[in-house]
Amino acid sequence: MKQQRLTLQTVRAALQQPLPGRAAQLTMAVRPRPGDRPDLPDPCPREAAVLMLLYERQDRLVLPLTRRTETVEMHKGQISLPGGAREPQDHGFAQTALRETCEELGIPEETVEVLGALTPLYIPPSRFCVYPYVGYTSRTYPLRSDPNEVAEIIEVPLEHLLDPATRQVEIHFRDKQRFQVPVYRVANQKVWGATAMILAEFLTMLSAAQTLPASTP
């Protein structure tokens, strides 16, 4: 069946389908993944939420990724989704994702619609349980990064991430151990680890939704 153009309608249709979960996440997991587990620890040592914020640039849906500064506590210099740790005043993980994203990108919270949630993921090195969400804003404000946390904002077209050529697998060695590291190549940067795993589930859902009949809401 011919694929549809990637639109907000496609995204909404994707988020109405069952989550592919861990199977999709593992397609972009580092192998081996020390400390991995199939579920979330209970209680979780640390909790956080991230947001895939979608908006339009030149009639294409894009999402921002952030390059973290070298001064943040965890994952220095890595490419990540905007988000952060849950605070006591947050009324759920969706609010955490929304609050942190808007703080990091300098946009008003009230302009963002949270469309749905993806499968939570445990990150062994930092011991965070991360809750991913997808959001949309029709207002394309100029993005103003928080200099304490964000060194660079990278706007990535969703269609670029869906291109199979964007995905590569590298071989790394650490302490004489061999690792297979799947990466997405975007703007001369490498997206890997937990961020790539979260993106993989969403992209799997989008690919499936593109084959649905055009009348699907």
d(CA 79, CA 65): 7
pLDDT tens-digit series, residues 20-67: 999 999 999 999 999 999 899 999 999 999 999 999 998 899 999 998
8-163+194-207: which CATH topology?
Nucleoside Triphosphate Pyrophosphohydrolase (3.90.79)
* Residues written for the chain: 217
Helix or strand or coil: residue 80?
strand
pLDDT tens-digit series, residues 68-100: 876 666 666 789 999 999 999 999 999 999 999
The answer to whether residues 66 and 153 touch, using CB atoms and an 8 Å cutoff, is yes
| 3: its two tokens | 């694929």
d(CA 157, CA 57): 8
Angle between helical axes of 193-209 and 8-15 (0-180°, round to 10): 100
If you write DSSP's letter for every residue of 28-78 in order, what string do you get?
GS-BS-TT--SS--SS-SEEEEEEEEEEEETTEEEEEEEEEPSSSSSSTT-
| 94: its two tokens | 């969706």
Q: Which one, of 153, 209, 143, 142, lies nearest residue 186 by Cα?
A: 153
Mean pLDDT, the chain, whole residue set: 91
pLDDT tens-digit series, residues 134-184: 999 998 778 888 788 888 899 999 999 999 999 999 999 988 899 999 999
